[in-house]
Structure 1
Amino acid sequence: MSRERANRPSVLLVNWRDTRHPEGGGSERFNERVAEGLVRRGYRVTVQCAAHDNAPADEWVDGVRFRRRGGRWTVYLRAMAAVLRLRPDVVVDVQAGLPFFSRLVARCPVVTLVHHVHREQWRAVLGPVLGRVGWWVESRVAPLLYRGCRYVTVSEQTRRELAGLGVATARTTVVRNGLDAPPPVRAQRDPDPTLVVVGRLVPHKRVEHAVDVVARLSGRWPKLRLEVVGHGWWLPQVAEHVRRLDLADRVTLHGFVDEQDKHEILARSWVHLCPSVKEGWGIAIVEAAAHGVPSVAYHAAGGVAESIVDGQTGLLAADRDDLVRQVDRLLAAEDLRTSLGEAGRARAATFAWEHSADAFARVLSEVVGQRRF
């Protein structure tokens, strides 16, 4: 290693997954885009995450070093070992519900990155008993262990929820998501009403609610269809829900698709749905907006109330019945759909990963006491 490179401040980002992991999603994209931006600003960045079959144990991508070690649970122990071994100048501990407990072994500042608070997800994924334990660790143990640490999150809503757990807002910085420039597409808006959902198929994404929308509106909209883009271990349950409602001819479960196909599907859709119980931000909402497609989501689902400007770039619903009403309203009003879509397109153009990396670098420079590079 050259002396110049060795003198750069080193960042170790410990995270459960990376974007190439079968369960990787929007939060992993944020982590990696910011990591790439930090490299361009003079930092040495290592991402420590779980091993999987889609990528090698050790890899360099866009200047970022990836170390993939451990499985679903042992990844935490391997991450703590990496903190001890690599001796970084700062650790970024990504808490997707569970912390990595890096504070116990780090001999350097720790920045805690929380995309969203997981109160509702614990029960949905682990059931009432284990879910209660998980929430206790997230809501009680983690704030105590990381007291005094700087926090970063992606929305004001999560910042407020962290404050409710005892994390002072003065210690929390909001760093917005950026947006990858959408590729050119060939698709035109479909002549028939088409809904789309983009995301991992896991229980708390509640894709079934989107299927229910189709079931409820099929009489009023005989040609209504739903395109579901994404994969995950909850796919069999979603497929069974579609079968039970006899909607196989109206709902297409695409599974994993590449980026180009994802954007082609978004571009031909009328309305994007995000029925998740909680999102830190909702990258898919802004991706849809970049194609002039408005979104409908739940008002109580965290950061979506910021990625959607209600009544200007999309609509927010109070509950499942209201979700159906808001989708029906958009399907029936082409002028409203178009105006929301165009406003969303203009807003999407303001999000850039370079802005995210700048904001994150400012936090790190304050924490390690060095000038930004």
Structure 2
Amino acid sequence: MFKKLRENLFKIVILTFISIINANFIYNFFLSKSPTYEMFYIISFLFFGGIVFYYLPHTKFWYRAIKDFESIFTTNVEDNSNVLGKKILIFNWRDTKHKYAGGAEVYIHELAKRWVERGNAVTLFCGNDGYCERHEKVDGVTVIRRGGFYLVYFWAFIYYMVRFRGRYDLILDCENGIPFFTPLYVKEKKYCVVHHIHLEVFSRYLNIPMAYLAKFLEGIAMPIFYKNIRFITVSDSTRDEMLKHGLGKAGIKIIHNGVDLQKLKPGVKSESPLILYLGRIKPYKSIHILIHAVDKIKSDVGNLQLIIAGSGEEEKNLQKLVSKLKLQDMIKFTGRVSEEQKIKLMQSAWVFVNPSFMEGWGITTIEANACGTPVIASNVPGLKDSVKNPTTGYLVEYGNTTEFAEALRSVLLNNEERKRLQKGAITWAQNFDWNKNCLLSLEILNGKI
């Protein structure tokens, strides 16, 4: 019933309004005493009430949209005229407090807060998931949240033209599949930050109309409008993919993801074998591959446990798969975890697994390594940069559950091999320090390299 209601919503709304108009007209002017038309009026009114009830979940969206429009004229932009360093404006679709935040949001925030510590002023303009403050300071970074998944791009243009233009020295355009197209309206110096090319992800996981649109924007429009823009990316693999698709001809600089080596340190491992996945739960992350691999080794590894930490739209489907395979006692979903919980999980895990179809780098790879945890990952762009096979873990063929299962057995059942990988992981992680990356990024943004 509700499916039909959704499919025919437009027709229902129109017919309902016609019914109410007719009923009121007849009721008030001609047949007010007729029980038949009184009933017709009541039914039409209830039908209309059902439509209103259907729309109630969307009222929050419209309220936010109105507030965003109103704020164009009321938002106070900080006076950074006394700042001795750079005044930097960042456009990104999300920030670290967004319910679907991932590695891309961590990357820009870790750099931004260190830029502030070094005397620069940073404003982050991003989308809002409806649960965050519209304007706040986070680690010294001014965060302005407007719009949602799509409207953030529209509001970025409007707010720049009305409130931000001429107030900043440098603009960072963070592309996460859909760019902000700042070359069309931003006159200040600008860089575009790209974590990975999404074209194949679009083909696999988007419906045809949206897939074609997204592929056009990233694969055709971006190389045209960004041809004179300098880029920053996170790995050699992403740089090579960008050049392959005509991006970055004006120059590409690589600034790797980092870790906070003061917080992420080796800890006490769990007494029984523990596998960890931590990150966004989205279709392209391919977590079902890991679940099937666990199913293959459950009889070989005693007291085995898999923890899946994070949130996303694929979570319900994965829970159904776990139930189907009867692995509820072995696999636990924690939802999104705090930074402290994340560190404890990474320290206690015997192995971290990332079966993703594609990554720009895979920041959780290095975070797990810093905690002394080896990583098994798909041999795909990004992950083949962050996992040093077979020094810090293993790279296996994407989608091959048998290879993932064999790699898991090698780590979980062989104490000496696991210790060797742990040692290699800790050593490798020391190369990725956010403070060093911050200094490199400032040299790039200041045009020194």
**TM-score of the aligned structures, taking structure 2 as reference length:** 0.77
Secondary structure, counterpart of 2:177 in structure 1: coil
Secondary structure, counterpart of 1:210 in structure 2: helix
1:311 is matched with which residue? 390
- Rounded to whole Å, the distance in 1 between the matches of 2:264 and 2:195 is 29
Counterpart among 139, 146, 157 of residue 219 in structure 2 = 139
8 Å CA contact 2:128, 2:145 repeated in 1:
yes
Which has the larger displacement, 208-217 or 181-190?
181-190
For 2:261, the aligned partner's letter is A
**1:234-273 counterparts in 2 under 5 A?**
234-273=314-353
2:139 is matched with which residue? 62
Shift of 1:296: 0.5
2:410 is matched with which residue? 329
Secondary structure, counterpart of 1:265 in structure 2: helix
For 2:385, the aligned partner's letter is E
Q: Deviations over 1:137-159 (max 9, x none)?
A: 11111121111100000001100
Q: Deviations over 1:219-266 (max 9, x none)?
A: 222432211111112211111111111110110111112122222222
Shift of 1:50: 0.6
8 Å CA contact 1:179, 1:287 repeated in 2:
yes
Which has the larger displacement, 131-140 or 280-289?
131-140
Counterpart among 89, 103, 111 of residue 191 in structure 2 = 111
Q: Deviations over 1:137-189 (max 9, x none)?
A: 11111121111100000001100000101124660000011102364899632
1:38 is matched with which residue? 115
1:121 is matched with which residue? 201
- Rounded to whole Å, the distance in 2 between the matches of 1:186 and 1:278 is 27
8 Å CA contact 2:264, 2:370 repeated in 1:
no
- Rounded to whole Å, the distance in 2 between the matches of 1:228 and 1:255 is 8
- Rounded to whole Å, the distance in 2 between the matches of 1:27 and 1:94 is 9
8 Å CA contact 2:92, 2:175 repeated in 1:
yes
Secondary structure, counterpart of 1:135 in structure 2: helix
- Are 2:373 and 1:293 aligned? yes
CA-based RMSD of the aligned residues comes to 2.0
Counterpart among 234, 239, 259 of residue 154 in structure 1 = 234
Distance 1:328 1:2, change over 3 A: closer
- Rounded to whole Å, the distance in 1 between the matches of 2:121 and 2:176 is 23
Structure 2: tracts of 5 or more residues without a match: 1-78
Counterpart among 294, 303, 308 of residue 214 in structure 1 = 294
Secondary structure, counterpart of 2:427 in structure 1: helix
- Rounded to whole Å, the distance in 1 between the matches of 2:304 and 2:407 is 15
Shift of 1:2: 6.6
8 Å CA contact 2:301, 2:413 repeated in 1:
no
Distance 1:59 1:312, change over 3 A: same
Which has the larger displacement, 34-43 or 177-186?
177-186
2:433 is matched with which residue? 352
- Rounded to whole Å, the distance in 2 between the matches of 1:362 and 1:123 is 37
Q: Deviations over 1:296-322 (max 9, x none)?
A: 11112x211121111111110013132
8 Å CA contact 1:83, 1:102 repeated in 2:
no
The alignment covers a number of residue pairs equal to 366
Secondary structure, counterpart of 2:337 in structure 1: coil
Secondary structure, counterpart of 1:4 in structure 2: coil
- Are 2:300 and 1:223 aligned? no
Counterpart among 270, 280, 286 of residue 200 in structure 1 = 280
Distance 1:3 1:185, change over 3 A: closer
- Rounded to whole Å, the distance in 2 between the matches of 1:241 and 1:83 is 46
Greater share of helix: 2
For 1:285, the aligned partner's letter is T
2:49 is matched with which residue? none
- Rounded to whole Å, the distance in 2 between the matches of 1:219 and 1:132 is 45
Shift of 1:3: 4.4
- Are 2:170 and 1:75 aligned? no
Distance 1:229 1:182, change over 3 A: farther
Secondary structure, counterpart of 1:330 in structure 2: helix
- Rounded to whole Å, the distance in 2 between the matches of 1:181 and 1:355 is 11
Distance 1:40 1:190, change over 3 A: closer
Secondary structure, counterpart of 1:248 in structure 2: coil
8 Å CA contact 1:187, 1:265 repeated in 2:
no
**TM-score of the aligned structures, taking structure 1 as reference length:** 0.92
For 2:87, the aligned partner's letter is S
Distance 1:186 1:3, change over 3 A: closer
For 2:391, the aligned partner's letter is Q
